[in-house]
Amino acid sequence: WLAGLSKDISRPPATAPFAFGTKQAQNMKPPVAAFSVILTTFLTCWPASLAFIPPSRNVIMGNYFSSTSRMATSSTTSSSDKADAVTADDLRGARDMIDGIINEKNCGPIFVRLAWHDSGTFDASIKDPWPAAGGAVGSIRFEPEINHGANAGLAGAVKLLEPVKAKFPGVSYADIFQMASARSIELAGGPKIDMRYGRVDAASSDDCSPEGNLPDGEADESTGKFGGMGGTKSTEDTTPFGHLRKVFYRQGFDDEGIVALSGAHTFGRAYKDRSGLGAEKTKYTDGTSKEAKQIRADGKEAKYTPGGSSWTKQFLVFDNSYFTTMPDDSADPELLKMSTDMTLFADDGFRPFAEKFRDSQEAFFESYAKAHKQLSEQGSKFVPEGGVKID
């Protein structure tokens, strides 16, 4: 499947599905414009990081997507004026096809990142007609949004899902992205998300959200500040807890939701050349050591492209190990701990939830499922209005 994507690439760029990053990544000049974004598809089909990839601090190749993003831009679009209700049979067919891709490619983390970056642009204070407030509307498939710094590698994730759209054209891109995310969580051993479908797609690049709405993992080394003045509202702050609240309060989340969503860092890896964070590889990600053996939730050993830093030892399983690892001073230093991770146990508002999730995976799953559902629906327009559910 990789054949024909690029003949010029000597090594694939790493992916970092939800990982917060640093501004240094955005400022790096891609010495490897040759290792074209298209190859991102290769890495995205193996477990990448699953963190909240920030808008300006998560990428190494800010405007590198030209060829792949053109693919995404030229894809079939849906008009909100002509949207028909999707059928349950098509949704089931799309779900089964997505499950097959996840099981074959081990690409769950990148699908979660794709869905989160599409929906995470939402600004609840914007009351202009849909889809002005952003959210889960499928606009991430268009330029310029797909080229935003935080979205490095996501054109490859869109490409992986194009066959699903081709086979089930009645299912919107927005639904496909959110379905792939929810299925990735569940197949990795996480909670079942109470999903509904029937989202209407943004129709063109005119509906793209501005860059700058997603969170950072570390402060900009030159300013000492997290976030920035871009996006629909400033996310700039000198503290990690202040920054996270600016990002997620804008979307309508509370402290419990912020901590629960942060727990998705249990799933995936971060890469130095993608987010400015993490190591080239660790004992858990080098693909050769005994510690690097990854066993999926279904008990099968997973093949993956080595590299990057994980927050947890088993980074393809969705559980509460993130919350048991972050406050553990004796945890292996090769496991990633960012400022926005550690603040969950330091901030008075976040700490009660972080400790609760550390002590109870059941409590974590309950809160996470609720927050994930909210994230997957924010900014969406459903046809029919109440959406469509499948068993």
Instruction: Provide the b/e sequence for 166-201 (b: ≥16 CB within 10 Å).
Output: eebebbbbbbbbbbbbbbbbbbbbbbebebbbbbbb
Distance CA 61, CA 16 (A): 13
List the one residue out of 17, 50, 14 whose CA is nearest residue 272: 14
Distance CA 58, CA 374 (A): 24
Distance CA 362, CA 188 (A): 15
Q: What single DSSP character describes residue 270?
A: E
197 bridge partner residues? 388
- Residue appearing with tokens 């048991």: 324
199 bridge partner residues? 382
Task: Find the helix or strand (DSSP H, E) in which 355 lies.
Answer: helix 351-359
List the one residue out of 212, 159, 217 whose CA is nearest residue 40: 159
Q: How far is CA 238 from the centre of its chain?
A: 24
Three-state DSSP class for residue 197: strand
Task: Provide the token pair at 87.
Answer: 């059928």
Task: Provide the token pair at 284.
Answer: 């858990």
List the one residue out of 325, 332, 319 whose CA is nearest residue 289: 332
List the one residue out of 136, 137, 205, 204 whose CA is nearest residue 373: 136
Catalytic positions are 117
Half-sphere exposure of 38 (CA within 13 A, CB side): 17
Give 224: exposed, middle or buried? Use CB within 10 Å, 0-12, 13-18, 19+: exposed
